[in-house]
Amino acid sequence: MNILKEKLKNHEPLAGAHVILTDPCISEIVSNLDYDFIWIDTEHSAIDYRTLEMHLMAVRAGGTPAVVRVPWNDPILVKRVLEQGPDGIVFPVINTAEEARQAMESCLYPPEGKRGFGPIRAVKYGLEDMDGYIRTGHKELCRLIQIESKEGVRNLDEILCNPYIDGVIIGACDLSGSIGILNQVFDERNLKLIDEAVQTAGRHQVPIGISTGSTDPETLKFWYDRGLTILSSGMDYSYILSGARQTLDTIRTVFGSSPCA
């Protein structure tokens, strides 16, 4: 059973962490916390297939579900990721129902889809039942799409007619760029599009959330109160920076308060 998929079906609020650095130790450390999922990013990082395999092993050791964002909606890229056995996959920049159909087909074996057959790590190198995986295992994958443009928002009603989509993630920064105001995430024009997407997802009873670099409590509450119940927040490098900065501030405070200073 895919725990993450069950949580999505139950519309539970979900907390995710982004991993973008190449060292698998990062994934191992974060996966030992109580996140609902770890988002391993191969779109905006130097993580290659070999490194990804190490990240997935590290996350599995920690017991946290792992989702992988692929660089593009390309069945060749998707196939190589799926053979490594992630719990979920994230497709960036889905703009049309046809693109969504292609994305879902790349995750599913015939007759539901067009995924090429060759699971390796996904069936524990042959230790798990291959026929069982063919019948149902591939359907257990969490399939998430990102809406990152005005076009995607406008087409979301048609996109979500696809029954294989488990959730929607808003890419708020790229969404703002699609209307000519890149990185002005809180501009009312951008927020209006996000609200439209939330309403559309609600009509289809599909969970919706946001991928954000922010870890600010007020910002995260802002998104949650707006109906975005999947919060994938911060980056691994920002976690390191935050902890290092806090430690440095503590040391400087000690220096300043010491009678030897």
Instruction: Return the active site residues.
Output: 44
Q: What are phi and psi of 212, to 5 degrees?
A: -140, 145
State how far the Cα of 150 lies from the Cα of 246, in Å rounded to an integer.
39
What is the sign, positive or negative, of the torsion defined by CA atoms of 241, 243, 248, 250? positive
The CA distances from residue 222 to 135, 187, 226, in Å, are 42, 14, 6
Cβ proximity of 52 and 84 under 8 Å: yes
State how far the Cα of 31 lies from the Cα of 38, in Å rounded to an integer.
7
State how far the Cα of 122 lies from the Cα of 31, in Å rounded to an integer.
19
> How long a stretch of residues is the chain?
261
Query: 261 burial class (0-12, 13-18, 19+ CB within 10 angstroms)?
Result: exposed
Residue 161 DSSP label: T
Look at strands 14-19 and 37-41 and give their pairing: parallel
Buried b (16+ CB within 10 A) or exposed e, 70-109: beebebeebbebbbbbbbbbbbbbbbebebbebbbbbbbb
- For residue 207, the one-letter residue type is P
